[in-house]
Amino acid sequence: MQDTHRQAARRLVSTLGIAVAASLLPALSPLAVQARAADSAAPRQHILLDDGWRFHAGDPDGGSAPYLYDVRPEVTASADGKVADARPEEAARVARADTPVLKPWILPSGNAFIRDPARRYQRPATEPAVDAPFAKLAFDDGSWRPVTLPHDWAIEGPFLTTGPYGGMGRLKTWGPAWYRRKLDIPAADRGRKIFLDVDGAMSYASVWVNGHLAGGWPYGYNSFRIDLTPWLQPGGANQLAIRLDNPPESARWYPGAGLYRNVWLTKTAPVHVGQWGVTVTTPEVSAESARVAWQVAVDNEGGTPASATVTTELYILDDRGRIAGKPVATAVSAPATVAAGTSGTVSGATTVSKPRLWGPPPTQTPHRYALVATVRQDGRVVDRTETPFGIRTVRFDPDRGLLVNGEHIPLRGVNNHHDLGALGAAFNVRAAERQLEIMRAMGANAVRLSHNPPDPQLLDLADRMGFLVMDEVFDSWERKKTPLDFHLIFPDWHEQDLRAMIRRDRNHPSIIIWSIGNEVGEQYTDKAGAAVAHELHRIAHEEDPTRPTTTAMNYAKSDMPLPAEVDVIGLNYQGEGIRQDPEFEGTDRIRTPPQYPLFHAKFPDKMILSTESASAFSSRGVYLFPVHPSNSSIVRDGRGGDSHSQQVSGYELYAVDFGASADKVFASLDRNPYVAGEFVWTGFDYLGEPTPYYGARSSYSGIVDLAGFPKDRYYLYQSRWRPDLPMVHVLPHWTWPERVGQVTPVHVFTSGDEAELFVNGKSQGRQKKGPTAYRLRWDAVKYEPGEITVVAYKNGKEWARDTVKTASAPAALQAQADRTALASDGRDLAFVTVRIVDKDGLPAPRAHDRVRFTVEGPADLVATDNGDATSFESFQARDRAAFNGLVLGIVRPRAGAGGTITVRADGAGLKGVAVTLLSRPATR
């Protein structure tokens, strides 16, 4: 379809048939990947390199200068701790002098993503002038630490309890680190192409093979490929070494550190499908039929021209992503001649009758297909790839919002950073799946991946589970937010990074929008900033003309040039207005009246959505008094906050200065029904950016805390996003011995339309929701021990009820695992929630007793947490204080060792508890 940036159409329709990046196997079953990849007779091998690694922090001589990617600006003072919406600054100029750097040898690694051949980089003829002993085959790494990937070395801490770096999670993520691994390359591989495929490495990766610098990639969030072939010795010993050099002052949140995503070895014939070389689209879709079109990039890295044909087969995938049955369509291309050292494209199309459409639950089903492309050279099979995809239509209507397969789907989305709480940035499929399951139960149907390309397995999960995704590439462009962030490499790498992300991800049915930036400093630079946006928009549409672009704007207004350069208007907090309280008058902070009507009037042909909404704060289970009478308030001491304890009240009325409560956001969306929906900041608490208390380790903005325990706000969103679910939630807890006779407001969230509150059986009155009321409040209730009960009604009939009782002293532990049947693959996880209760089994909501975990059987305790943003206890501690009655243990079965696992939790003066799990061999 045509680029809507250049047309006056009132709707942008995306009919992309979507797929996972071309890979041999679904990433959700790594053991199956290894099993199939190990077949040396296969035309392609895609081997997971997860074990056999050795890790060392630091460079050989204790200094990093010879290994620098490039000269960096000198940082004389920390920039950590400034407000989240501070204006980005102009880049610092750096004198290059004569410092030797590795940049000339690493830039060519991105050549495949530079469209203009004249702008591609030539590798220097000589080797870099650096002696790298850690990269050499003869180096003895026996004293180095054995690790298994994915690996985030920084999550082990210790926490930095004082000084700066609250923004980066109070965990040291910076400094050089090396990973080494032997590579077994049989003599039979001579003549094959051998690539290293890295799903993500934080950051400034340089890849060394047998002492030679093979290439690298600076951006820590993108996936990349390095051709190892020239430096390998098939039939001999081979050494792979990867050096990372994450800078300090390089992020506004916890970036993680290390080889924190999967690393693969891919072996192919010289003639093969190129990296992310399969693109599937569905330009015509109806209930009766769908036209499926594809392009297959065939690379010829041999020395002579090659004649190749591509056979394409389409299959239905089952719920687990496995091919089911016979092909629903087959096509064979005409022979194509591909010159040596070049790439050719083979195109084709077919029609699928009665297509099974991909769409978001609960009203639709995320059906998927697979395209299997088989490449033959002179009649011999030389490559085969399997590419899952989906068939669906997406329409972006400026007046109605988002339509998927013709159905209006309000965006009920959340923003999520990439860390997995106590597990850090090391990606784990089950941990990410658990997060999505918790969001799904709340009613969320969409995720914005803030503010960087995700692990590809997260997109596989979104495809399978039916989440809509906004895929985002950059948090900064040329202007800096922190002294050493991505702006340093943006001029050299923005094209490669944007094209790489889109080529990898463009076949996922879950992705509906490309975001080219978040709150970038170029919002402030008028036409110059708009020109950067225009270039990124152009690149995005060259790679994928079927999806729209957006950029998340917290400053740019409708009369500025930047919003005109993207297809969809994405507003951060501007919809409901920023800092409109009288106390901000005369300040130099961003102050913006509600902007939805102004943008809608200026851009009547563009859909509008809230790329970030709310940024509300709370600490789970903490309630502070007095309770603010309005429906939204900033946080100050005595106004929802307590700077001494560094906690924020859980009455869910409080937000960052530029944000708003959920209630205020809901009202704004209801007043402007043309807005497609929202992405709440954030679904989960995340490491770093701990506003409003920078002495803490993690954020306060999550609907769910860092351990995965829902805050009260969770049920407010559930009451709105799942209107057909009979539910009611009452807060606060009812254990307040020091508040007898004092006013203790009671608030109720319900999907019903009215409710009645009872205190010890006595009615406090029945209330009905008004037009823009999203909670029911009994603000004059005085505390007395006993119980509070709320009965919710809908259309005059009882809908749901909830009771909270006064607890006595903590007496025992209760435990529950999220799953009891696990795979013994070394990656599966069980999340064990331990609750402190009184003698009658009632939750003890103010208990902070210490709990100790022990694990018996073929499994290990890998992390613990309690959701307290102020806790500096190690995530690896077996003994941890509960936070308001809850604590979490994360257990991982050992690879290949099935059997019964017993997880015990004990505490001084508390009756212990045990949970039984069972691990079994992983099955595909």
DSSP 335-400: PEEE-TTEEEEEEEEEEEES---B--TTTS-B-EEEEEEEEEETTEEEEEEEEEEE---EEEETTT
**Over residues 806-819, mean pLDDT:** 98
Is the pLDDT assigned to residue 18 strictly greater than 90? no
Nearest to 373 by CA among 446, 288, 242, 274: 274
Whether the CA torsion 194, 198, 204, 205 is positive or negative: it is: negative
Paired tokens of 841: 């089994």
Q: What is the dihedral of CA 642, 648, 651, 656, to 10 degrees?
A: 110
Maximum separation of any 2 CA atoms in the chain, in Å: 89
Nearest to 257 by CA among 85, 57, 434, 50: 57
Q: Which pLDDT value is given to residue 40?
A: 54
Tens of pLDDT, residue by residue over 110-129, are 999 999 999 999 999 999 98
Nearest to 405 by CA among 361, 470, 438: 361
Q: Is residue 10 very low, low, confident or very high in pLDDT (cuts 50, 70, 90)?
A: very low
Q: How far is CA 814 from CA 422, 673, 855, 858, 912, in A?
A: 21, 45, 16, 23, 8
**Over residues 764-780, mean pLDDT:** 97
Cis, peptide link before residue 587, omega less than 30° from 0:
no
Q: Which residue has the tokens 């928009």?
A: 537
Q: Which pLDDT value is given to residue 81?
A: 85
Crossing angle of helices 713-721/662-671, nearest 10°? 20
Q: Is residue 76 very low, low, confident or very high in pLDDT (cuts 50, 70, 90)?
A: confident
Cis, peptide link before residue 732, omega less than 30° from 0:
yes
DSSP string, 766-802: EEE--TT--SEEETTPBP-SSEEEEEEEETTEEEEEE
Q: Is residue 11 very low, low, confident or very high in pLDDT (cuts 50, 70, 90)?
A: very low
Paired tokens of 887: 């604590």
Tens of pLDDT, residue by residue over 296-308, are 999 999 999 999 9
Whether the CA torsion 498, 499, 502, 504 is positive or negative: it is: negative
Is the pLDDT assigned to residue 757 strictly greater than 80? yes
Is the pLDDT assigned to residue 244 strictly greater than 70? yes
Nearest to 874 by CA among 178, 261, 256, 170: 170
Q: How far apart are CA 876 and CA 907, in angstroms?
A: 18
Q: Which pLDDT value is given to residue 82?
A: 87
Q: Which pLDDT value is given to residue 528?
A: 98
**Over residues 133-144, mean pLDDT:** 96
Phi, psi at 586, each rounded to 5°: 85, -5
Residue percentage of the chain with pLDDT more than 70: 95
Phi, psi at 657, each rounded to 5°: -55, -35
Is the pLDDT assigned to residue 2 strictly greater than 90? no
Q: How far is CA 355 from CA 13, 287, 292, 314, 332, in A?
A: 18, 7, 10, 12, 21
Q: How far is CA 816 from CA 550, 703, 729, 819, 862, in A?
A: 42, 21, 21, 9, 17
Is the pLDDT assigned to residue 28 strictly greater than 50? no
Q: How far apart are CA 431 and CA 828, in angstroms?
A: 8
Share the mean pLDDT of the chain.
Answer: 94
Q: Which pLDDT value is given to residue 41?
A: 61
Q: Yes or no: say if 335 and 311 are a contact pair by the CB < 8 Å rule.
A: no
Q: Which pLDDT value is given to residue 322?
A: 94
What pTM does this model have? 0.95
Is the pLDDT assigned to residue 64 strictly greater than 90? no
Number of residues that make up the chain: 924
Q: Which residue has the tokens 């003639």?
A: 271
Paired tokens of 848: 């902070």
Q: Is residue 63 very low, low, confident or very high in pLDDT (cuts 50, 70, 90)?
A: confident
Residue percentage of the chain with pLDDT more than 90: 91
Q: How far apart are CA 567 and CA 557, in angstroms?
A: 15
Q: How far apart are CA 290 and CA 405, in angstroms?
A: 12
Q: Yes or no: say if 833 and 903 are a contact pair by the CB < 8 Å rule.
A: no
Per the annotation, the verdict on 856 as an active-site residue is no
Q: How far apart are CA 715 and CA 364, in angstroms?
A: 24
Nearest to 660 by CA among 694, 619, 698, 630: 630
Q: Is residue 39 very low, low, confident or very high in pLDDT (cuts 50, 70, 90)?
A: low
Number of helices (H), then strands (E), in the chain: 9, 52
- Eight-state DSSP code of residue 222: S
Q: How far apart are CA 444 and CA 437, in angstroms?
A: 9
Tens of pLDDT, residue by residue over 527-567, are 999 999 999 999 999 999 999 999 999 999 999 999 999 99
Nearest to 825 by CA among 49, 151, 30: 30
Q: Which pLDDT value is given to residue 847?
A: 98
Phi, psi at 267, each rounded to 5°: -115, 130
Nearest to 785 by CA among 759, 809, 803, 763: 759
Q: How far is CA 655 from CA 200, 205, 615, 633, 667, in A?
A: 33, 38, 6, 6, 16
Tens of pLDDT, residue by residue over 156-177, are 999 999 989 999 999 999 999 9
Q: Which pLDDT value is given to residue 923?
A: 63
Nearest to 243 by CA among 176, 143, 149: 176
**Over residues 702-709, mean pLDDT:** 98
Q: What is the residue type of 738?
A: E
- For 119, residues 6+ apart whose C-beta sits below 8 A from its C-beta are none
| Set 313, 478, 495, 519: catalytic member | 519
Q: How far apart are CA 213 and CA 223, in angstroms?
A: 18
Is the pLDDT assigned to residue 446 strictly greater than 90? yes
Per the annotation, the verdict on 612 as an active-site residue is yes
Q: Yes or no: say if 867 and 706 are a contact pair by the CB < 8 Å rule.
A: yes
Paired tokens of 708: 């995965």
Q: How far apart are CA 644 and CA 28, in angstroms?
A: 45
Tens of pLDDT, residue by residue over 610-657, are 999 999 999 999 999 999 999 999 999 999 999 999 999 999 999 999
- Eight-state DSSP code of residue 831: E
Q: How far apart are CA 550 and CA 339, in angstroms?
A: 38
Q: How far is CA 376 from CA 387, 433, 676, in A?
A: 18, 38, 46
Q: Yes or no: say if 840 and 856 are a contact pair by the CB < 8 Å rule.
A: no
Is the pLDDT assigned to residue 52 strictly greater than 50? yes
| Set 576, 612, 754, 784: catalytic member | 612
Is the pLDDT assigned to residue 188 strictly greater than 50? yes
- Residues paired with 835 in a beta bridge: 814, 886
- Structure-model confidence comparison of residues 129 and 55, the more confident one: 55
Continuous segment of H or E residues that includes residue 714: helix 713-721
Q: Yes or no: say if 286 and 66 are a contact pair by the CB < 8 Å rule.
A: no
Cis, peptide link before residue 661, omega less than 30° from 0:
no
- Eight-state DSSP code of residue 694: T
